Amino acid sequence: MTQKKTGVITFKGNPVTLLGPELKIGSAAPDFKVVDNGLQPVTLADSQGKVRVITVVPSLDTPVCDTMTRKFNEEAAKLPENVVVYTISLDLPFAQKRWCGNAGIEKVKTLSDYQERSFGLSYGLLIDELKLLARAVLVIDQQGTIAYQEIVKEVTAEPDYKAALAAARALL
């Protein structure tokens, strides 16, 4: 049975329920299966040995998600090759591809959790009431351990970019 967590986040000031486990810094990052813009499967294991910055957004077609993904795309250009930056949402891969093309996103790889909700349920980030992912940033080290995690308290707010990027750089 899926765990339900309340009191962790709000959406437009209203409390919502997250589905899945509560993960801790220092825990092994659960594997997941999402798809890229070409509908090809992508798992955490595919980037083994690299630092993973995973940004999680409800939908790229909203202002805060747009801003967040553009900012991480800019920062990703400054990071070495052994760092991958993923943005995961429940947007369809076709919508993600269109959005990336329009926004000029080349450094962040957008991934969709629409098929199995594998990422959202494994990381405790699926919002039960909205069937969207909560806004979050995770940094996973080369060995697959969660080194940094921010679940943004208010879904419509931006994350702490500096703290996430500092956590990623500290692993290099």
In sequence order, the 6+-apart residues with CB closer than 8 A to the CB of 64 are 57, 135, 156, 157, 158
> Using DSSP, how many helices (H) and how many strands (E) does the chain show?
4, 11
d(CA 139, CA 161): 12
- Cα–Cα distances (Å) from 122 to 67, 92, 156, in that order, read 26, 19, 22
The residue annotated as part of the active site, out of 44, 65, 76, 171, is 65
100 counts as catalytic: no
CB 96 within 8 A of CB 66: no
- For residue 169, the surrounding DSSP H or E stretch is helix 161-170
Instruction: For residue 65, report the phi and psi dihedrals to the nearest 5 degrees.
Output: -65, -40
Active site residues: 65
